[in-house]
Structure 1
Amino acid sequence: MTNLLPRLWSFLKRFEARVLIGLFLVAATLLAFLGLADEMVEGETQVIDRQLMLALRTPGDLNNPIGSHGVEEAVRDITALGGTTLVVVVTVVAVLAFLFHKKRIHALVMAGAVMAASLSSNLTKDLFSRPRPDLVPHEVFVYSGSFPSGHSTMSTAAFLTLAMLIASLEMKQRSKALALTLAALVVVGVGFSRVYLGVHWPSDVLAGWCLGAGWALVGWLVLRLLGGQTRGAG
């Protein structure tokens, strides 16, 4: 037993073990997404979806989200972090920055993860064609299907992938943790904002997180397999 933990830790540090773990996590996110989709189609998420959305509205006044007008405006700003325009800008800037520093694999992973997330989000929206919530008034303009949340998918894929790529180049654990923590905060903030603004059910957001995280994990696997990881940074 004394030698078991060191051996286990030594195994987990090996390249093959990390790739296997990555594959497992990708499969887990895909299964989670499919499970949510199945429950959504069967209507099993409807009760909790309604309860969570109503919890963010002033009792007796569904037109008014909880919080002041300043909070509402701040949430609208946060939701823009997952919008197409800002995600494209972040992706282009990141790709150019990686290319400038001769990190071609990093640039490829960044662009590939975001494009794959966008394509899969649009395809699944068309596939499921879930109507937008009509329980409360929408606080921002919407024009596409509800499942999964495109903002949640895109922000998760873009910001988690970017944080992962930055972490792969950093030697300090604190810097890695900072990049990943900031990305997670953005992802959670964008997802919350979609429900707060009444344009997505909570299950839409959760599905978007699963889909986007899956592509970020695929990006991590590609980075590992193509040797883009800085030695000592993994």
Structure 2
Amino acid sequence: MAGVAAAWRRFLTDRLEFRALGLIIALGGAILAFLGLSDEVGENATAAFDRAILLWFRNPANPADPIGSRAVEEAMRDVTALGGVTLLTLFVVIAAASLLFFGKWRQAVVLTVTIILAEVCNDTLKVVYDRPRPELVPHGVYVYTHSFPSGHSMLSAATYLTVAAILSSLDRRRRFKAFVFTLAILVIVAVGVSRVYLGVHWPTDVLAGWTLGAAWALLARLVLGIWRGEAPAAGKDERR
């Protein structure tokens, strides 16, 4: 037992270090956040919150009418497509092919496997939780699966955050890291908001999707770091 414990300590020290340990802690936090949220949803403790936020995007005089003009509604449909299976599949194929072209086969494999597993996870959880879609307002787009968690939110978070993490691992400049993660987060938030605006998801569906999507991206970055034998010490990023 002492030998096993010593080997484990050496692994943590030599391979993971502070940054990877931080990823593990963040990953655990994201999973716990999802589990806590799912418990609240299961107990119907979020009903008032969900209803209030969903109706906030509607005309008070006519809940069937989303706020904003027809152009805003159409723009929201365009935005929500950024989290759809078709567009994300094309995005992942193009990103993976580009990584392979530049010889980054590990990154291509991690990205592809992560998104496939995230999709399987999302489909499974929808069946397990079996939450109905909102019926307070008409749906702005066609939907055919269960509501919890939001697949668009989860898969967009997993995809765009994983790509941002991969890109940031290839360029150590802090400004570049901030740039790619800011872009990713803006797209993810826009997709999640569009799902509530269009009336096809409760806000807690979106929150749950974000937490799990972030968890998959954190796991992808952790796996990639270990696979490449990375053990970067905190504060060592190059500044330019």
TM-based fold match above 0.5: yes
Looking at structure 1, the residues matched to 113 and 237 of structure 2 have their Cα atoms a distance apart, in angstroms, of 22
> What residue is the counterpart of 1:44 in the other structure?
45
1:74 alignment counterpart: 75
Q: Which runs of 5+ in 2 are unaligned?
A: 1-14
Runs of 4+ in 1 over 4 A off after TM superposition: 228-234
Q: CA–CA distance in 1 between the matches of 2:178 and 2:16? A: 21
- Distance (whole Å) between structure 1 residues aligned to residue 25 and residue 191 of structure 2: 26
Question: Match for residue 162 of structure 1?
Answer: 163
Q: CA deviation at 1:171?
A: 3.0
Shift of residue 56, structure 1, vs aligned partner: 0.4
Identify the residue that residue 207 of structure 1 maps to in structure 2: 208
Partner of 1:116: 117
Task: Show the counterpart of 1:27.
Answer: 28
**CA separation in 2, counterparts of 1:67 and 1:228?**
51
Q: How much does 1:113 deviate? A: 1.5
Q: CA RMSD in A?
A: 1.8
* Residues 229 and 164 of structure 1, relative CA distance in 2, 3 Å threshold: farther
Deviation at 1:104, TM superposition (A): 1.1
Query: Aligned partner of 1:60: which letter?
Result: A
Per-residue deviation, residues 20-56 of structure 1 (Å, max 9, x unmatched): 1111111111111011111101000110000000010
Question: 2:206 and 2:229 mapped to 1: Cα distance?
Answer: 31
For structure 1, list consecutive stretches of 5 or more residues without a partner in the other structure: 1-13
Distance in 2 of aligned mates of 1:198 and 1:230: 45
2:61 alignment partner in structure 1:
60
Aligned counterparts, 1:91-130, within 5 A: 91-130=92-131
Residue 151 (1) aligns with residue 152 (2): yes
- How much does 1:90 deviate? 0.5
State the alpha-carbon separation in 1 of the partners of residues 174 and 212 from structure 2.
27
Tell whether 2:86 aligns with 1:85: yes
**SS of equivalent residue, structure 2 residue 210:** helix
Shift, 1:229, TM fit: 6.0
Cα gap change, 1:72 to 1:229, in 2 (>3 Å): farther
Q: In 1, Cα distance between the equivalents of 2:177 and 2:47?
A: 38
Residue aligned with 1:48, SS: helix
Are the aligned partners of 2:164 and 2:184 in contact in 1 as well (CA < 8 Å)?
yes
Residues 111, 229 of structure 1: CA spacing in aligned structure 2 closer, same or farther, 3 A cutoff? farther
TM-score normalised by the chain length of structure 1: 0.91
Per chain length, whose mean CA-contact separation is higher, i.e. which structure has more relative contact order (CA < 8 Å, sep 6+)?
Answer: 2
How far the C-alpha of 1:15 sits from its partner, in A, is 4.4
Deviates more, 1:66-75 or 1:141-150: 66-75
2:198 corresponding residue in structure 1: 197
Letter in 1 for 2:156: S
Aligned CA distance change for structure 1 residues 165 and 151 (closer, same or farther; 3 Å) = same
Distance 1:23 1:157, change over 3 A: same
